[in-house]
């Protein structure tokens, strides 16, 4: 170790003092006021009986309800249906999104340069499309009179259509009427919207891998399946971990797509947590306290998932 002569730090870098805190102040105020305070407030509201806007405005007293709201939803069979819908939907969507996204990522990695650019560009368009207009377009595709899907099913030879589905006339068929078909279409919409992010991220991960490893696996006679599970997956495990967590968080709180497909908040059998919370609070008669309680349940579930996410991120990222 040579002792270098201590150079005086330039004025600019000498002891930061209070400056960094001053620079952070506006940001901290905004985050505290618009994210952290409401997060606390939603928990507080869940402990009260709030059923009028005047209470929300603070013009009327808030009757304390203790845990009554929690007892009410936990003993409500409908809440159990909603919770089951949410969990099953999230699991199915995370699974399908991850599988499709990973396959497309691997595909993009294998395609020639021009083809990869073209397919990648198309995939990005799906990602970029706003949830709202993407969903409206899917709803149009499944429209019961002039929608493309209805047209395609009508175009099937009627004998085939009758023997397969028990009907040959599809005009007027309500694609969104049964919960199962509603959730299938919602899954289609959500997966369509979210697989591009997975594909692009997996592709970025693949590009960071040393090519020799996969080459060596191939030389040793490993097929694509084998080399994925023995080489690619273990190396990209952190990427996959984070992608699964992010997808889980996103798919647990799907709102816009559901709101648009269901045409508002009337379709109770297909409720999931976020729309249930919203409808409880804002559909007449408003029940803000109960809505807040459902929001707390959603938040707690996601906090657990987030805990896992942040821990895995902290292990890798040099902050």
Partner 1 sequence: MRRRHALNVVGLLVALFAVFPVVWMVSTSLKSTPEIFSGGPLPFPRSPTLEHYRTILTGDLIPGVTFVDFFRNSVLVALATVLISGLIALLAATAVARFRFRLRTSFLVMLLVVQMIPLEALVIPLFLMIQRLGLYDTLASLVLTYVGFSLPFAVWMLRGFVAAVPVELEEAAAIDGASRAQIFRRILLPLVAPGLAATSIFSFIVAWNELIFALTFLNDQSRYTLPVAMTFFFGRDDTAWGPVMAASTILTIPVLVFFLVVQRRMVGGLAAGALKG
Query: By CB under 8 A, is residue 299 in contact with partner 1?
Result: yes
Query: By CB under 8 A, is residue 111 in contact with partner 1?
Result: yes
Query: By CB under 8 A, is residue 174 in contact with partner 1?
Result: no
| The length of the chain, given as a count of residues | 319
Contact window for partner 1 (CB under 8 A) among 25-33, 71-79, 90-98, 174-182: 25-33
Query: By CB under 8 A, is residue 208 in contact with partner 1?
Result: yes
Q: What DSSP state is assigned to residue 172?
A: T
Tokens representing residue 163 in the block? 């023997």
Contact window for partner 1 (CB under 8 A) among 89-97, 131-139, 158-166, 226-234: 131-139
Query: By CB under 8 A, is residue 146 in contact with partner 1?
Result: yes
End-to-end CA distance of the chain: 28
Tell me how far apart the alpha carbons of residues 137 and 131 are, in angstroms, rounded to a whole number.
Answer: 10
Site string for partner 1, 237-256 (x = CB under 8 A): -xx-xxx--x--x--xx-xx
In the list 47, 123, 231, 279, the residue contacting partner 1 (rule: CB under 8 A) is: 123
φ and ψ at residue 64, rounded to 5 degrees: -70, 135
Query: By CB under 8 A, is residue 264 in contact with partner 1?
Result: yes
Nearest to partner 1 of 204, 216 (CB atom): 204
With the C-alpha atoms ordered 109, 115, 118, 123, is the resulting torsion angle positive or negative?
negative
Nearest to partner 1 of 63, 130 (CB atom): 130
* DSSP class per residue in 30-83: HHIIIIIHHHHHHHHHTTB---SHHHHTTSS---B-TTHHHHHHHT-HHHHHHH
User: Chain centroid to CA 172: how far?
Assistant: 32
Q: What DSSP state is assigned to residue 10?
A: P
Q: Binding residues for partner 1, how many (CB under 8 A)?
A: 113
Nearest to partner 1 of 183, 205 (CB atom): 205
Tell me how far apart the alpha carbons of residues 42 and 6 are, in angstroms, rounded to a whole number.
Answer: 54
Query: By CB under 8 A, is residue 216 in contact with partner 1?
Result: no
Nearest to partner 1 of 133, 163 (CB atom): 133
φ and ψ at residue 48, rounded to 5 degrees: -120, 160
Q: Whole-number minimum distance, CB 118 to partner 1, in Å? A: 6
Tell me how far apart the alpha carbons of residues 22 and 138 are, in angstroms, rounded to a whole number.
Answer: 48
Site string for partner 1, 52-81 (x = CB under 8 A): -x--xxx-----------------------
Query: By CB under 8 A, is residue 91 in contact with partner 1?
Result: no
Query: By CB under 8 A, is residue 262 in contact with partner 1?
Result: no
Contact window for partner 1 (CB under 8 A) among 51-59, 73-81, 175-183, 213-221: 51-59
Tell me how far apart the alpha carbons of residues 101 and 110 are, in angstroms, rounded to a whole number.
Answer: 14
């Amino acid at each position: 170790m040579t002792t270098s002569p201590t150079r005086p730090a330039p004025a600019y870098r000498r002891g930061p003092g209070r400056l960094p805190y001053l620079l952070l102040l506006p940001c901290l105020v905004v985050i505290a006021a618009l994210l952290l305070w409401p997060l606390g407030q939603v928990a507080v509201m869940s402990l009260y009986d709030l059923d009028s806007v005047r209470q929300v405005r603070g013009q009327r007293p808030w009757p304390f309800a203790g845990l009554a709201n929690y007892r009410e939803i936990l003993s409500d069979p409908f809440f159990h249906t909603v919770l089951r819908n949410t969990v099953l939907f999230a699991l199915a969507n995370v699974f399908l999104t991850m599988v499709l996204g990973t396959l497309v990522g691997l595909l993009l990695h294998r395609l020639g340069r021009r083809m990869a650019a073209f397919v990648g560009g198309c995939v990005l368009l799906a990602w970029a499309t706003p949830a709202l207009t993407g969903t409206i377009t899917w709803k149009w595709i499944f429209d019961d009179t002039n929608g493309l899907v209805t047209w395609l099913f009508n175009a099937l030879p009627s004998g085939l259509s009758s023997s397969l589905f028990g009907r040959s006339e599809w005009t007027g068929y309500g694609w969104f009427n049964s919960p199962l078909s509603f959730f299938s279409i919602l899954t289609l919409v959500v997966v369509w919207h979210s697989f591009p992010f997975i594909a692009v991220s997996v592709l970025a991960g693949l590009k960071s891998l040393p090519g020799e490893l996969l080459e060596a696996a191939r030389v040793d006679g490993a097929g694509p399946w084998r080399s994925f599970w023995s080489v690619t997956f273990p190396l990209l495990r952190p990427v996959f971990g984070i992608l699964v967590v992010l997808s889980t968080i996103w798919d647990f709180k799907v709102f816009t797509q559901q709101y648009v497909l269901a045409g508002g908040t009337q379709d109770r059998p297909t409720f999931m947590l976020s729309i249930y919370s919203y409808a409880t609070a804002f559909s007449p008669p408003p029940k803000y306290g109960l809505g807040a309680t459902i929001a707390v349940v959603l938040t707690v579930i996601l906090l657990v998932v987030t805990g896992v996410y942040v821990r895995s991120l902290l292990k890798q990222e040099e902050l």
